[in-house]
Amino acid sequence: MAHLLADHSTGGLQCLCKRATFVLCTANILVGLFMLQAALIPIHHDSSSSSVAPRADDVSPKGIEVMQTRPTAEELERIETSNRLRRELLPVQLIERVKEIQKETVSDINRSRLKNLARQKVALELAQRLRDLKRNNHQYILLGALQGWNTTNLEKTNSVTEATGGGEEKAVDPKVAILNE
């Protein structure tokens, strides 16, 4: 029996949840409709309460009626004076000076670029000269070392020939003297 009661109570709970969900969704839909109506009523009210009938030239290319009011002579005069005052209040000299400064800055930038290019060219030339000097200096060092080696070898061969008693008349090949050592 308890088994049947447990199933019955769960089924009743599911039915209650379904009804609550239905009521909540219905209330949300009704609130949405009321909000939509409140948003659309002012637009509808404004368009229906206009007392001026639209003219034929008041229709836009898309077919939507456009309300145009032409300004009166007094309004045109106020607009013209406000535009004139706005132009008079513009700092024309300041604007011209700013444009001059901008032109000067552009020319200064171009000059500095040219100077930098010239400096880079000179720096590259100096670097190439230093590399050449280094190569030449290295060659001179090698040449000096070779000459020093030759003189020491000649001195050794001369000392070897004198020690053997050969005298100066005999010319000894340095390669043979080195092999004899």
- Tell me if 173 is assigned to some domain: no
Give me the pLDDT at residue 60, please. Answer: 55
For residue 136, the enclosing domain spans 91-162
- Tell me if 146 is assigned to some domain: yes
- Tell me if 77 is assigned to some domain: no
Minimum mean pLDDT range among 7-16, 36-45, 118-127, 164-173:
164-173
How much of the chain, in percent, has pLDDT values that exceed 70? Answer: 70
Q: For residue range 53-97, list pLDDT tens digits in order.
A: 445 455 555 556 556 688 889 999 999 999 999 888 888 888 899
Give me the pLDDT at residue 129, please. Answer: 85
- Tell me if 136 is assigned to some domain: yes
CA-CA distance, 15 to 5, in Å (whole number)? 15
- Tell me if 86 is assigned to some domain: no
Give me the pLDDT at residue 106, please. Answer: 92
- Tell me if 45 is assigned to some domain: no
Domain count, the chain: 1
- Tell me if 68 is assigned to some domain: no
- Tell me if 177 is assigned to some domain: no
